[in-house]
Amino acid sequence: MKTTAFTKYHIANGAKMAEFAGYNMPIEFSGINDEHATVREKAGVFDVSHMGEIWVKGERALDLLQHIASNDVSKLFDGKVQYAAMPNGKGGIVDDILIYKFSDTKYMLCVNAANTDKDWAHICAEGEKFGMKAGVELENASDNIAQLAVQGPLAMKIVQKMCDEPVEDMVYYTFKQTKLAGCDVILSATGYTGSGGCEIYMYNSDADTIWEALWAAGEEYGLKNIGLGARDTLRLEKGFCLYGNDIDDTTSPLEAGLGWVTKFVDGKDFIDRDFLAKQKAEGVERKLVGFKMIDRGIPRHEYKIASLEGEEIGHVTSGTMSPTLKVGIGLGYVKAEYAAIGTQIAIIIRDRLIKAEVVKYPFV
């Protein structure tokens, strides 16, 4: 198992550790509900150093990105971040990614930890069509970069104490190259919790310095360590997709409700464009929906979804007891005719039909 630059601190702080995407990662510290509430009300820090970082550089960088990404990368300006899917050529999704524009010839992709090797192979294979090579225009920097996500309504107050330039009012989905505790970092205002905050990308060699400075700055604001368990409940309350659960190599961006990052603009010949355009015109047979339990019950990944009459119509992709709402919530694929807001469905739990309702998300 791989470790991150912060693994020693997690173990010292008594974290419950487990393997995730090949890394020894903290699942929880003080308990999922407590950690969840901390991020919603104050601030928490996540070690997300397992995420992958891939550089795309050179004169044809934009051409390649326009080909492999569903979103319109030409709309980016320096310092802007964009969310996109990478279609796989078979109607599914290689990964969902963040694209950072540094200049017309320099971009960084943040990719999901479990997909880093797959994404790298895909990008290199497609890059060859544009004359771009690994080690030249393409670089997998994942093993050299550590990343912390500081999330919550007080997160930027903490980070501001570590930084000489103003960062507290950074615009959502922008980033800066700056210094934190005297170290060179990329400071990014994206987030996977819906509670505000930032991500700090740093060299592994600066990890200890930034870790110590962060805790010194965060003490007065009640900063806490947060594990991957609460990260999952936080993102689910906001309806954010998790690759491997809600989207994968078999789900199209349009089925997954990612039409908003699938842009059929003139001159953008992206992978699966024709297939997705046809799907958009004709409609999809299944859709990813959010649902809230009416009857008591906690939906779980892979539970079957049925009509109230018992006909199987889909499956749960993500589910939990919402720490905020104190009710079961989830995402799942259902036949398109059951996807309208307000439709009553049933989750099959221990062979029983437990009633739920399709709702608009985010849930909170």
Give the pLDDT of residue 35. 98
In order of their start, the domains of the chain are 7-50+143-237 (3.30.1360.120), 285-359 (2.40.30.110)
Closest C-alpha among 86, 121, 84, 124 to residue 100: 84
For residue 21, what pLDDT band results from cuts at 50, 70 and 90?
very high
pLDDT score at 86: 98
At 253 the pLDDT is 98
- The predicted model gives 328-350 an average pLDDT of 98
Which residues are within 8 A (CB) of 261 and not within 5 positions of it... i.e. 6 or more apart? 70, 71, 82, 83, 84, 85, 253
Q: Are 252 and 279 in contact (CB under 8 A)?
A: yes
Question: Predicted confidence band at 180 (pLDDT cuts at 50, 70, 90)?
Answer: very high
Say if CB 356 and CB 342 are below 8 A apart: no
Q: How far is CA 230 from CA 41, 191, 282, in A?
A: 14, 14, 38
Confidence of residue 127 (pLDDT cuts 50, 70, 90): very high
pLDDT category of residue 363 using cuts at 50, 70 and 90: very high
Average pLDDT over residues 189-194: 96
What digits encode the pLDDT tens for the residues 194-219?
Answer: 999 999 999 999 999 999 999 999 99
Average pLDDT of the chain? 98
- Going edge to edge, which strands form the sheet with 138-140? 81-87, 93-103, 106-111, 52-57, 138-140
Predicted confidence at residue 255, as pLDDT, reads 98
**Mean pLDDT, residues 338-356 taken together:** 98
Give me the pLDDT at residue 340, please.
Answer: 98
Q: What is the model's pLDDT at position 254? A: 98
Tell me the per-residue pLDDT of 140-169, one tens digit each, with 9 for 90 and over: 999 999 999 999 999 999 999 999 999 999
Q: What is the mean pLDDT of residues 311-339?
A: 98
What's the one-letter identity of residue 133? K
* Location of structure tokens 């368990």: 229
Encoded amino acid at 242, one letter: L
Position 107 scores a pLDDT of 99
